[in-house]
Structure formats: C-alpha cells, structure tokens
Amino acid sequence: MENLNSLSPIQNKRMTCYGGVVAAAALPSPPPTTLTTLPSSPSNTFVRVREVGSGGAEDPNTVVKQSVDGFKWRLLVSYDGTRYKGWQFQQTPPTIQCILEKALTQATKLERKDLHLVGASRTDGGVHAWGQVAHFITPFNYDSLDSIHAALNGLLPPDIRVREISAAVPEFHARFSAQGKIYHYKIYNDAIMDPFQRLYAYHVTNKLNAAVMREAANHFIGTHDFSAFVNSSRNDGMPNPVKAIFRFDIVKMVIKSHNNLAPKDGLLSLICPFHCH
C-alpha cells in the first residue's frame, strides 16, 4: 500500500506491511488484508479528468493539477517489495511505480507522462502489498482487458503482479477515493530467526507478552489527530490529519517447524485497519 502513509508504518525493511487501499463491489479478501473499492464501470466512456496528486511526479513535493482526456483504468497490484525502494517513482534503486510504468509503456505504446499512473499509497522500501490500488489513463478504449492484463503480467518481474484490471468511473481516483487502509505487521519472536521468515517478519529476541500488547493496542482505537506525523513542508492534497482506527489486533500465531516434529510458537501478527475519512 501506500501514501499508504497517512499513518506512517514502522520503518524497518524486515517489517511486513500488506496494504489494502481502495475504493466497490466487495473484493475477495484472503488474509492478510481486506479490500473494498468504488464501483468501476462495466464499459468505459471518454471523459475529461481533473487529475490532482503527485502520482507520477519524480519530485515527491510536486502537486500535479491538469486536465486529461482519456479512459481511466483501475489496477489492483500485489508485490513482494524486498528488492524495491517503495512505490514512489525513481529509477535507481528501482521502485514499484517505475517497474509498473515500464510495463505499461510497453503494453500501451504510450509515454510515461501520458499514462498519469497514480498509486493509492506511497510505501517504504522493502514493504509488501497484497492489494494496492492504482489507476492510469489511455486516450483509447479497450473492448477487452484480457490481452493487456496478460501482457502486463508477462512484462512484469515475478515479484510484481497485476491481480485485477477494470474500467473505472471518471470520478474514481486511486488515492483520493480510498475509504480505508489495513497495515499488517509480523514479528518473529524467538532467539533464532527463521530464515524462511526473514523477509516477511521483524525479528525480536526478547520474549513479548501478547496480552500486554493487546491492552496497549486498545489505546490506538478510535478517532485521533495525527498532525504530528504529517510532513508540513509538503502540500500533497491531504488536508485532514484525523483518522479513525477501528481495529488493532494482536494475533499470536503457531508455526509448524520445518521438520514437522513440533509446533513453533513464535510469530505475532499485528493488524491495524483504519478509515481515511
């Protein structure tokens, strides 16, 4: 997800954040995240769209405001962020937006500046996403999306996948239409880190008390003003720092050992969904 940083996640490359942000018919929601999105139209119509947001700008402080003629398309993207420096565009080291835009330019034969690719959220380096929403614009319509869907996944590396592509209503905006976000962190709590978990969990050697953590997590639930987390130097079109955290789960998970001889009781899962509005 995320952006994905209206509430900034803990910044550690080994901390996994599966971000779901979106706006309409309920989407399938296998763990670890739940997604909801704005309706997408069954067939697209040519529209003049007012784009607002830093989306594809190299300068993260830049706010893009321009009218764009074209057809809008919604993407649902999943990725393993281990090799990437987050979502926001930069070429070195590579980011998710950079790689996705390269695939889109090849598949659509359009220039990057004409695609107006916008993600629902920025993410930190090493963060993973199960269902991050993005949108892009083309000057032409597609009668069928099967070909471009297959082409994108054929051009993308195996650690990035477009799970869904659909036509979007003109009012839809991947970032500003987001209704909520879910952060999912994993902590591996054991003296020795499991090498199979190292990219997807944060290693804590001191014994954690899940019951006490649950009690502390209750203080986050509710509506709070997160102005202290806002970068006041950036005018990014997100004026409301008040967010409602409606759940904060601390789940103790049991992992079977790799030789299947005994269960391993050492993984904590922190799940924190919140409303954007």
Active site residue 124: yes
Sort residue 14 into left (φ over 0), alpha (ψ -120 to 50) or beta: alpha
Whose tokens are 């929403």? That residue is 133
Structure tokens at 240: 């409301």
Distance, CA of 138 to CA of 115 (rounded, Å): 6
Instruction: Give yes or no for a cis peptide into 93 (omega within 30° of 0).
Output: yes
Strand, helix or coil for residue 137 = strand
Choosing from 124, 143, 146, 225, which is the catalytic residue?
124
Q: Give strand ranges (E) for the chain.
A: 20-21, 47-53, 64-79, 118-119, 129-138, 160-167, 180-189, 202-204, 222-225, 242-245, 249-256, 263-275
Q: Where does residue 257 rank: exposed (0-12), middle (13-18), buried (19+ CB within 10 A)? A: exposed
Which helix (H) or strand (E) segment is 158 a member of?
Answer: none
DSSP string for residues in 20-37: EE----PPP--TT-----
Residues designated catalytic: 124
